[in-house]
Structures are given as C-alpha cells and as structure tokens.
Amino acid sequence: MRALSGPAALVPAMALVLLVLAAACGGESFSLPTPGPGGETVMRIDMRDNSFSPSNITIEANKKYIFELRNRGKAAHNLRIAGPDGEFDTGDDIASELINGGKTGTLAVEMSVAGTFPFRCDPHAVEMDGKLTVWVKPFIPSPTASPTPAPTPTPTPEVTPTAEGTPAAEGTPAAEASPTAEATLPLEETPTPEVSPTAEQPPVSTIPPATP
C-alpha cells in the first residue's frame, strides 16, 4: 500500500483533528461554518431530546450569522438567546419559532455587544441550554509611514562688506593735438621763355664756281 503524501495526506489528519475536537466537547457534533446567500455565515446546530450540539457557540460582534437549526429529536424545540441584558423573555431576546421533530429552521443572529449570553429551548428550559460567546475583533491600526523630517535650512553666510575701492587714478589728459601745418601751396610754374624765331639763313647757292 502506497503511503499518502502532499495534500492528500492532510485529509485524514484534518478528520482526526475534528474527531478530537468533538470528543473534547463531550461528544458534540462539529460543523464548519459556511457562507450564506447574502454574505452571512451559516452555523449548523443540532437539537436533540433534550440538548443542543454544540452547546457552546462563538461568534464575532457586528457580523451577520444564520443559525441552521436541525431538530434531530421527536419533540418540538426552539432556540432563544438572552439579549444584552442577559435576561430571558425581554425585548432584546433573539428567538426562533418552534421546530417540529425531523424539521429544520433558521435564526438570523447579529450581536453588537461583546460578552457571554445564555440560550435555551423554551419548552425544555431546565435541561436544554447553552452559551453564546461574542467577541470583538481587536483594532489593529495600519502602519503609517513616518513623516519625512523637513531638511534643516543651511544658514546663508553673511556677506562681509568689502573695503571701499581706491578711486581709480584720473586719466592723464591727452595732449592737445598740434594744429596741422597748413598745406604748402604749389609753386607757380615759371613760364617757359618763348623761342625767338631763328633768322632766316640765306639760301645756299648750288651753282658751281667758275673754273679759271
């Protein structure tokens, strides 16, 4: 036979835990809550002649529950919870109708006050009773981020006044520009002497001289 491992091995272990819990409660049947059609939590409670199973019920304050009451006996039974005043048959009681043997009924329960409240079956109040414990979920504030400290401003250094500057030496006055010499007038041209006309030379004779 192969040994079970993984998730399959958890099923027998969970069944064993449920059996131990049932034995610890004096043989009471144990039924896990299931979600209801409107978001309520459904809890099954068996009514026998004459006892509740379980007879100790714990619920959370300000949550909606539906108690599914299954009459496993022959006589008619109901379930009545004493309200916040802790007294039966007062205006704050929460009670179901009588449920005949073999039938199933329901009871809507919502408690806003924490504490322990007794419940019973009205026709069998002496021997058929139980206890309802209502607890308040502790408020755990969500962690908030620590505020970031503002940066410390760096002091601005004071500006040390500088010594007054030595006045700049006055510029040496520029030498006055010497007056520009007047432009030299061009020399007047010496008139070219007129060429005297050359005296006319007597014409040269071309006749040869006489021979002696």
Q: Distance between CA atoms of 113 and 169, rounded to whole angstroms?
A: 97
CB of 96 within 8 A of CB of 78? yes
DSSP code, position 38:
T
Does the pLDDT value for residue 194 go beyond 80?
A: no
Residue with the larger pLDDT of the pair 153 and 201: 153
Q: pLDDT at position 149, please?
A: 78
Does the pLDDT value for residue 80 go beyond 80?
A: yes
Helices first, then strands: H and E counts in the chain: 1, 10
Q: Distance between CA atoms of 204 and 201, rounded to whole angstroms?
A: 8
Does the pLDDT value for residue 84 go beyond 80?
A: yes
Q: pLDDT at position 151, please?
A: 80
- Taking only the tens place, the pLDDT of each residue in 161-175 is 666 655 555 655 555
* pTM of this prediction exceeds 0.85: no
Q: Which two tokens stand for residue 172?
A: 């040496």
- Taking only the tens place, the pLDDT of each residue in 105-129 is 999 999 999 999 999 999 999 999 9
CA 104 → CA 39, 46, 118, 162, distances in Å? Answer: 21, 9, 22, 101
CA 106 → CA 36, 121, 127, 129, 136, distances in Å? Answer: 12, 14, 22, 17, 24
Q: pLDDT at position 107, please?
A: 97
3 state SS of 123: helix
Q: Which two tokens stand for residue 195?
A: 């060429």
Give the domain ranges of the chain: 31-135
Q: pLDDT at position 138, please?
A: 84
Mean of pLDDT values over 85-102 = 96
Does the pLDDT value for residue 183 go beyond 90?
A: no
Beta strands in the chain (DSSP E): 34-35, 41-48, 51-53, 56-60, 65-71, 80-81, 94-95, 104-109, 115-120, 129-135
Q: Write out the CATH class of domain 31-135.
A: mainly beta
CB of 102 within 8 A of CB of 140? no
Q: Which two tokens stand for residue 22?
A: 């049932």
